[in-house]
């Protein structure tokens, strides 16, 4: 029997819910504070737009709990069918990612690898880092210069966030989207808009990210990314550069576009990217791929990721109410598995 569904928040989780529930024949409406379905790149919209889209359950064991890796591998199994069912093409690659370290930083790399091995000791069914010789690295990534030590993380990959967000929106047939309508409160069977209007439904779904404060004790963690354009750059897989002070990643978006980012900054500052941050990111990327010296900077962006004090996601269902929040820096890695879990618990729908 079709249900009336009211969703607060049109980020990644909100769009996955809307798409899956519409496919199941439910009447779905979505409210969001943003101006529309496309990103404004002003530091205010859904964190999913600013993400690199790395699908890295193994690499995340460096700083996350084993549950993140387990859910991440579940999502990696779900993403291909989701992408295949969307009405627009979405870049999805699961051919592995690379960890790299310059020779002076190999002590830091050894500590990271030790943590990965210790954290993964109870996850023996999943892949482990594979050291690469110089010849093996050259075969996998001929665009990289000789010198850095490298490890392959099998099965990891990437998804193109902008393409996926657009495709989820356009593929959600029959969904009513209400933009510039922030939600003040979400309760079982009811959402209350900031102007006081109340919307009643069979199920209310709260995926507002930081907008769910103070119901959840969320904080924003700043992330910064640079988008570069370089025709025929040649990079095939996501890279993480291990460094004593920070982790920098380099992600190929297309044959001509790359994204550079750093893992996290403990700040709720939404102001533009600073000169120091931009220089550090570009210098780290240039040290891996000197040819990036000819790349053009097409965008600098920043946003806040919603995080809970324990850094674990909040996935909750009760009669008439679903909450999903606090995915931190793992949104693209965890969202499919958690959405599927909540849809199964409530018997409302299923992802493909």
pLDDT at position 244: 67
Task: Answer yes or no: do 139 and 225 share one domain.
Answer: yes
Please choose, from the candidates 76, 45, 14, the residue with its C-alpha nearest in 3D space to the C-alpha of residue 334: 76
Task: Answer yes or no: do 151 and 243 share one domain.
Answer: yes
How far is it, in rounded angstroms, from Cα 63 to Cα 311? 10
pLDDT at position 264: 80
Note the pTM of the prediction, 2 decimals. Answer: 0.96
Task: Answer yes or no: do 147 and 224 share one domain.
Answer: yes
Neighbours of 13 (CB within 10 A): 31
The CATH number that applies at residue 298 is 3.30.9.10
pLDDT at position 247: 80
pLDDT along the chain (352 residues), means of 10: 98 99 99 96 94 94 88 98 98 97 82 76 80 97 94 97 98 98 98 98 99 97 96 97 82 97 87 92 93 97 96 97 98 98 98 97
Task: Answer yes or no: do 11 and 151 share one domain.
Answer: no
Task: Answer yes or no: do 148 and 253 share one domain.
Answer: yes
pLDDT at position 121: 66
The CATH number that applies at residue 169 is 3.50.50.60
Cβ contacts of 205 within 8 Å, gap of 6 or more: 5, 6, 7, 8, 14, 17, 186, 321, 322, 323, 324
Task: Answer yes or no: do 239 and 148 share one domain.
Answer: yes
Number of domains making up the chain? 2
Task: Answer yes or no: do 192 and 226 share one domain.
Answer: no
pLDDT at position 119: 67
User: Can you give the residue range of the structural domain that contains 313?
Assistant: 4-50+162-218+309-346
Residue 300 CA: distances (Å) to CA of 36, 111, 131, 248, 279? 21, 31, 33, 15, 12
Tokens at 61, concatenated: 């064991």
Indicate the DSSP class of residue 208: -
Task: Answer yes or no: do 144 and 230 share one domain.
Answer: yes
What is the sign, positive or negative, of the torsion defined by CA atoms of 69, 75, 77, 79? negative
Q: Is 227 left (phi over 0), alpha (psi -120 to 50) or beta?
A: beta
Is residue 322 within 8 Å of residue 336, measured between CB atoms? no
Task: Answer yes or no: do 186 and 323 share one domain.
Answer: yes
> Regarding beta strands 176-178 and 149-153, do their DSSP bridges make them parallel or antiparallel, or are they unpaired?
unpaired
Task: Answer yes or no: do 208 and 115 share one domain.
Answer: no
How far is it, in rounded angstroms, from Cα 205 to Cα 208? 9
């Amino acid at each position: 029997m079709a249900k009336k569904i009211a969703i607060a928040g049109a980020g990644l989780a909100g769009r996955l819910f809307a798409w899956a529930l519409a496919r199941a024949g439910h009447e779905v409406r979505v409210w969001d504070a943003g101006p529309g379905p496309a990103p404004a790149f002003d530091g205010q919209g859904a964190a999913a737009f600013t993400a690199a889209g790395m699908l890295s359950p193994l690499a995340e064991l460096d700083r996350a709990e084993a549950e993140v890796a387990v859910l991440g591998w579940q999502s990696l199994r779900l993403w291909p069918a989701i992408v295949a069912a969307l009405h627009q093409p979405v870049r999805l690659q699961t051919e592995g990612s690379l960890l790299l370290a310059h020779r002076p930083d190999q002590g830091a790399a050894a500590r990271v690898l030790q943590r990965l091995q210790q954290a993964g000791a109870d996850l023996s069914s999943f892949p482990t880092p594979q050291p690469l010789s110089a010849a093996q690295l050259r075969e996998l990534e001929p665009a990289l210069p000789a010198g850095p030590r490298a490890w392959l993380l099998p099965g990891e990959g990437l998804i193109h966030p902008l393409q996926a967000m657009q495709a989820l929106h356009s593929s959600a047939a029959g969904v009513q989207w209400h933009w510039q309508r922030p939600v003040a409160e979400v309760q079982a069977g009811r959402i209350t808009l900031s102007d006081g209007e109340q919307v009643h439904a069979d199920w209310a779904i709260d995926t507002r990210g930081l907008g769910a404060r103070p119901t959840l004790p969320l904080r924003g963690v700043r992330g910064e990314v640079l988008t570069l354009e370089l025709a025929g750059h040649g990079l095939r897989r996501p890279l993480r550069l291990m460094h004593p002070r920070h982790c920098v990643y380099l992600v190929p978006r297309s044959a001509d576009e790359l994204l550079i980012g750093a893992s996290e900054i403990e700040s709720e500052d939404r102001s533009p990217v600073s000169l120091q941050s931009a220089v550090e990111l570009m210098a780290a990327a240039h040290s891996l791929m000197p040819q990036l010296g000819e790349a053009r900077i097409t965008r600098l962006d920043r946003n806040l990721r919603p995080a809970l004090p324990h850094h674990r996601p909040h996935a909750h269902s009760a009669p008439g109410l679903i909450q999903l929040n606090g995915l931190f820096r793992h949104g693209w890695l965890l969202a499919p598995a958690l959405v599927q879990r909540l849809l199964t618990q409530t018997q409302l729908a299923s992802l493909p």
